[in-house]
Amino acid sequence: MRIGFGYDVHRLVEGRRLIIGGVEIPFPKGLLGHSDADVLLHSVCDAILGAIGEGDIGRHFPDTDTAYKDISSLKLLAKVSGLLKDRGYTISNIDSTIIAEKPRLAEYTAQMKKNIAATIGCDESRVNIKATTSEGLGFAGIGKGMAAYAAVMVEKK
Protein backbone atom coordinates (compact mmCIF):
# COMPACT_ATOMS: atom_id res chain seq x y z
CA MET A 1 0.00 0.00 0.00
CA ARG A 2 1.13 3.54 -0.72
CA ILE A 3 -0.21 6.97 0.22
CA GLY A 4 -0.20 10.19 -1.79
CA PHE A 5 -1.13 13.76 -0.89
CA GLY A 6 -2.30 16.50 -3.23
CA TYR A 7 -3.00 20.22 -2.96
CA ASP A 8 -4.18 22.77 -5.47
CA VAL A 9 -5.26 26.41 -5.45
CA HIS A 10 -6.66 28.76 -8.09
CA ARG A 11 -7.84 32.37 -8.18
CA LEU A 12 -11.49 33.25 -8.72
CA VAL A 13 -12.05 35.59 -11.68
CA GLU A 14 -14.90 37.00 -13.75
CA GLY A 15 -15.56 35.47 -17.16
CA ARG A 16 -14.78 31.82 -16.35
CA ARG A 17 -17.07 28.87 -15.62
CA LEU A 18 -16.74 27.35 -12.15
CA ILE A 19 -15.95 23.64 -12.54
CA ILE A 20 -15.26 21.55 -9.45
CA GLY A 21 -15.14 17.76 -9.45
CA GLY A 22 -16.21 17.85 -13.09
CA VAL A 23 -19.44 19.66 -12.14
CA GLU A 24 -20.32 23.08 -13.51
CA ILE A 25 -21.57 25.16 -10.60
CA PRO A 26 -23.64 28.32 -11.17
CA PHE A 27 -21.55 31.20 -9.80
CA PRO A 28 -20.56 34.63 -11.15
CA LYS A 29 -16.85 33.74 -11.06
CA GLY A 30 -14.74 30.79 -12.11
CA LEU A 31 -11.27 29.50 -11.37
CA LEU A 32 -8.36 30.82 -13.41
CA GLY A 33 -5.98 28.30 -14.92
CA HIS A 34 -4.59 26.81 -18.11
CA SER A 35 -7.06 23.92 -18.02
CA ASP A 36 -10.55 24.21 -16.53
CA ALA A 37 -8.74 24.88 -13.19
CA ASP A 38 -10.69 22.22 -11.30
CA VAL A 39 -8.98 22.42 -7.89
CA LEU A 40 -10.53 19.21 -6.61
CA LEU A 41 -9.50 17.05 -9.56
CA HIS A 42 -6.04 18.62 -9.66
CA SER A 43 -5.47 17.75 -6.00
CA VAL A 44 -6.71 14.18 -6.59
CA CYS A 45 -4.42 13.83 -9.62
CA ASP A 46 -1.43 15.06 -7.59
CA ALA A 47 -2.27 12.66 -4.75
CA ILE A 48 -2.45 9.67 -7.12
CA LEU A 49 0.75 10.69 -8.89
CA GLY A 50 2.47 11.06 -5.53
CA ALA A 51 1.29 7.64 -4.37
CA ILE A 52 2.76 5.93 -7.43
CA GLY A 53 5.95 8.01 -7.45
CA GLU A 54 5.18 9.83 -10.71
CA GLY A 55 5.84 13.46 -9.79
CA ASP A 56 3.06 16.01 -10.08
CA ILE A 57 0.36 17.25 -12.41
CA GLY A 58 2.56 20.05 -13.78
CA ARG A 59 5.13 17.53 -14.98
CA HIS A 60 2.54 15.47 -16.84
CA PHE A 61 0.32 18.30 -18.11
CA PRO A 62 2.45 21.48 -18.30
CA ASP A 63 0.71 24.82 -18.66
CA THR A 64 3.07 25.57 -21.54
CA ASP A 65 1.45 22.82 -23.67
CA THR A 66 -1.49 24.09 -25.73
CA ALA A 67 -2.95 20.57 -25.80
CA TYR A 68 -4.12 21.17 -22.23
CA LYS A 69 -5.57 24.66 -22.75
CA ASP A 70 -9.10 24.67 -21.28
CA ILE A 71 -9.12 20.84 -21.13
CA SER A 72 -11.56 19.14 -18.80
CA SER A 73 -9.71 17.95 -15.72
CA LEU A 74 -11.76 14.74 -15.94
CA LYS A 75 -9.59 13.95 -19.00
CA LEU A 76 -6.45 14.64 -16.95
CA LEU A 77 -7.76 12.37 -14.18
CA ALA A 78 -8.44 9.65 -16.76
CA LYS A 79 -4.81 9.84 -17.95
CA VAL A 80 -3.53 9.72 -14.35
CA SER A 81 -5.81 6.74 -13.71
CA GLY A 82 -4.24 5.04 -16.72
CA LEU A 83 -0.77 5.53 -15.19
CA LEU A 84 -2.06 4.14 -11.88
CA LYS A 85 -3.32 1.00 -13.62
CA ASP A 86 -0.19 0.68 -15.78
CA ARG A 87 1.89 0.61 -12.57
CA GLY A 88 -0.31 -2.21 -11.24
CA TYR A 89 -2.18 -0.22 -8.57
CA THR A 90 -5.81 0.28 -7.65
CA ILE A 91 -7.45 2.92 -5.48
CA SER A 92 -8.11 1.90 -1.89
CA ASN A 93 -9.65 5.24 -1.05
CA ILE A 94 -9.62 8.96 -1.77
CA ASP A 95 -10.38 11.54 0.90
CA SER A 96 -10.60 15.16 -0.21
CA THR A 97 -11.55 18.59 1.06
CA ILE A 98 -12.54 21.67 -0.95
CA ILE A 99 -12.02 25.06 0.74
CA ALA A 100 -14.37 27.78 -0.54
CA GLU A 101 -16.30 30.51 1.20
CA LYS A 102 -18.88 30.70 -1.59
CA PRO A 103 -20.73 29.09 -3.23
CA ARG A 104 -22.00 26.38 -0.93
CA LEU A 105 -20.87 23.09 -2.46
CA ALA A 106 -22.61 20.39 -0.39
CA GLU A 107 -25.38 19.84 -2.95
CA TYR A 108 -22.80 19.11 -5.67
CA THR A 109 -20.50 16.68 -3.86
CA ALA A 110 -22.54 13.56 -4.69
CA GLN A 111 -22.14 14.25 -8.43
CA MET A 112 -18.45 15.07 -7.96
CA LYS A 113 -18.01 11.71 -6.23
CA LYS A 114 -19.77 9.91 -9.10
CA ASN A 115 -17.57 11.70 -11.65
CA ILE A 116 -14.34 10.76 -9.88
CA ALA A 117 -15.35 7.13 -9.29
CA ALA A 118 -16.53 6.68 -12.90
CA THR A 119 -13.38 8.27 -14.33
CA ILE A 120 -11.04 6.17 -12.21
CA GLY A 121 -13.17 3.04 -12.45
CA CYS A 122 -13.61 2.48 -8.74
CA ASP A 123 -16.62 2.10 -6.48
CA GLU A 124 -18.09 5.37 -5.21
CA SER A 125 -17.67 4.10 -1.65
CA ARG A 126 -13.90 4.58 -2.12
CA VAL A 127 -14.27 8.34 -2.76
CA ASN A 128 -15.01 10.93 -0.08
CA ILE A 129 -15.46 14.66 -0.69
CA LYS A 130 -15.90 17.31 1.96
CA ALA A 131 -16.49 21.03 1.46
CA THR A 132 -15.67 23.63 4.08
CA THR A 133 -15.10 27.35 4.46
CA SER A 134 -12.10 29.06 5.99
CA GLU A 135 -14.28 31.20 8.26
CA GLY A 136 -13.50 34.40 6.37
CA LEU A 137 -9.74 33.98 6.74
CA GLY A 138 -7.09 33.95 4.01
CA PHE A 139 -7.51 34.11 0.23
CA ALA A 140 -10.38 31.60 0.20
CA GLY A 141 -12.12 33.30 3.09
CA ILE A 142 -12.21 36.66 1.36
CA GLY A 143 -13.38 35.12 -1.91
CA LYS A 144 -10.20 35.53 -3.94
CA GLY A 145 -9.76 31.83 -4.66
CA MET A 146 -10.41 28.22 -3.77
CA ALA A 147 -8.21 25.34 -2.68
CA ALA A 148 -8.47 21.58 -2.33
CA TYR A 149 -6.56 18.85 -0.54
CA ALA A 150 -6.64 15.13 -1.28
CA ALA A 151 -5.16 12.05 0.32
CA VAL A 152 -5.14 8.80 -1.64
CA MET A 153 -4.26 5.26 -0.65
CA VAL A 154 -3.41 2.83 -3.43
CA GLU A 155 -2.59 -0.85 -3.33
CA LYS A 156 -0.88 -3.27 -5.68
CA LYS A 157 -3.31 -5.51 -7.53
Q: What confidence tens digit (pLDDT) does each residue in 120-138 have?
A: 999 999 999 999 999 999 9
Residue ranges covered by each domain of the chain: 2-156
Q: What confidence tens digit (pLDDT) does each residue in 94-119 have?
A: 999 999 999 999 999 999 999 999 99
pLDDT bin (cut points 50, 70, 90) of residue 25 is very high
Taking each helix axis from N to C end, the angle separating 39-51 and 73-86, rounded to the nearest 10 degrees, works out to: 10
Q: Phi/psi class of residue 15: alpha, beta or left (left: φ > 0; alpha: ψ in -120 to 50)? A: left
Which superfamily does 2-156 belong to?
2-C-methyl-D-erythritol 2,4-cyclodiphosphate synthase (3.30.1330.50)
Q: What confidence tens digit (pLDDT) does each residue in 137-154 have?
A: 999 999 999 999 999 999
The distance of Cα 34 from the centroid of its chain, to the nearest Å, equals 14
Q: pTM for the full model?
A: 0.96
